[in-house]
């Protein structure tokens, strides 16, 4: 970073000094001088390029978060089904942990991800799930499948939490905002003196479009909050299904947690 800044400053200084040294020759050859209009086209290109690049980055992060949430829901459903093959002594405990984990993710972790971090409540049920696996023993038929499924669930959860943080650093966002403001000011300075209504209207539309793109980037880069957010639809659907299966197998009110995944006294 330091080298880049130093090279840019040296280039600017050498250019300005060279201009003053060779000013007489430049004037003698009638070389046209730069105007504000000469900076508009490269500035437009740079601004649009940066906006497009950042929008793609933010969209990619949003897509990864959505994919991780769906994968996690699918793995949770698979874990509940595989736990049905566990020995009777651990079956109910393992399936109850899976249901309560899904509830805790929906009730606690989803709101926490709006602030860019996870919650501790789901981890309590994964810890209890692994304790149940230890009791079951590695010789049990479903042990290997449950361990593999729990590993997949953990990876999907970590990806989901990681993608909840903004994909674009604040410094980059403020740089884009400054570039946008400078571009609009530069274009406004190049407005014609006569018949400006149509051109001014076009500038207003361009300003609105670029501002909208910037706001969309700001919203998309935070997948679990804002107008464009990922809802806990997948995990909620799975939670409802496995809760019905658990109730059908063990009876109503037998889950070790409340509706929000909190352990019962």
Quote the strand ranges of the chain, DSSP E. Answer: none
Q: Select from 129, 124, 109, 95 the least CA-distant residue to 242.
A: 95
Portion of the chain with pLDDT greater than 70, in percent: 86
pLDDT value for 129: 94
What is the model's pTM?
0.79
Q: Select from 140, 218, 204, 144 the least CA-distant residue to 176.
A: 218
pLDDT digits (tens, 9 = 90+) for 189-206: 777 777 677 777 888 888
pLDDT mean over 119-128: 94
Least-confidence region, from 4-8, 136-140, 175-179: 4-8
pLDDT value for 248: 93
Positive/negative CA dihedral, 62, 219, 209, 44: negative
| 263, β-bridge pairs | 257
pLDDT digits (tens, 9 = 90+) for 245-263: 999 999 888 999 999 999 9
pLDDT digits (tens, 9 = 90+) for 33-79: 555 566 677 777 777 887 888 888 888 888 898 999 999 999 999 99
H-helix segments, the chain: 2-21, 23-28, 36-82, 88-104, 110-113, 121-136, 143-162, 170-189, 196-220, 233-250
pLDDT digits (tens, 9 = 90+) for 226-245: 888 889 999 999 999 999 99
Distance from C-alpha of 36 to C-alpha of 34, rounded to nearest angstrom? 7
Distance from C-alpha of 214 to C-alpha of 97, rounded to nearest angstrom? 42
Residue 110 predicted with pLDDT over 70: yes
pLDDT value for 128: 94
Contacts of 176 (CB under 8 A, 6+ apart): 47, 50, 51, 54, 214, 217
Residue 153 predicted with pLDDT over 80: yes
pLDDT value for 79: 94
Model confidence at 181, pLDDT cuts 50, 70, 90, reads: confident
Burial class from Cβ neighbours inside 10 Å (0-12, 13-18, 19+) for residue 8 reads exposed
pLDDT value for 194: 72
Positive/negative CA dihedral, 176, 208, 64, 159: positive
Residue 130 predicted with pLDDT over 90: yes
Burial class from Cβ neighbours inside 10 Å (0-12, 13-18, 19+) for residue 204 reads exposed
Model confidence at 12, pLDDT cuts 50, 70, 90, reads: low
pLDDT value for 148: 94
Identify which has the larger pLDDT, 184 or 15. 184
Portion of the chain with pLDDT greater than 90, in percent: 40
Under 8 Å between Cβ of 213 and 55: yes
């Amino acid at each position: 970073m330091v080298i880049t800044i130093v090279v840019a400053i040296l280039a600017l200084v050498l250019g300005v000094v060279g201009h003053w040294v060779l000013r007489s020759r430049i004037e003698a050859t009638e070389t046209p001088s730069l105007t504000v209009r000469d900076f508009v086209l490269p500035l437009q290109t740079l601004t649009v390029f940066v906006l497009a690049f950042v929008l793609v980055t933010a969209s990619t992060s949003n897509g990864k978060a959505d994919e991780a949430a769906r994968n996690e829901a699918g793995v949770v459903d698979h874990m509940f089904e595989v736990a049905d093959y566990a020995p009777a002594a651990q079956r109910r405990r393992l399936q109850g942990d899976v249901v309560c984990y899904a509830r805790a993710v929906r009730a606690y972790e989803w709101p926490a991800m709006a602030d860019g971090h996870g919650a501790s409540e789901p981890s309590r049920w994964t810890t209890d799930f692994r304790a149940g696996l230890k009791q079951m023993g590695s010789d049990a038929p479903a042990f290997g499948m449950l361990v593999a499924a729990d590993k997949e669930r953990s990876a999907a959860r970590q990806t989901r939490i990681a993608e909840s943080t903004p994909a674009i650093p604040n410094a980059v966002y403020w740089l884009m905002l400054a570039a946008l403001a400078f571009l609009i000011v530069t274009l406004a300075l190049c407005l014609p003196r006569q018949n400006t209504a149509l051109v001014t209207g076009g500038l207003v539309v361009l300003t609105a479009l670029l501002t909208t793109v910037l706001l969309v980037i700001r919203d998309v880069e935070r997948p679990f909050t804002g107008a464009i957010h990922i809802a806990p639809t997948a995990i909620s659907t799975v939670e409802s299904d496995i809760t019905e299966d658990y109730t059908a197998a063990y009876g109503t009110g037998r889950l070790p947690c409340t509706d929000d995944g909190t352990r019962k006294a």
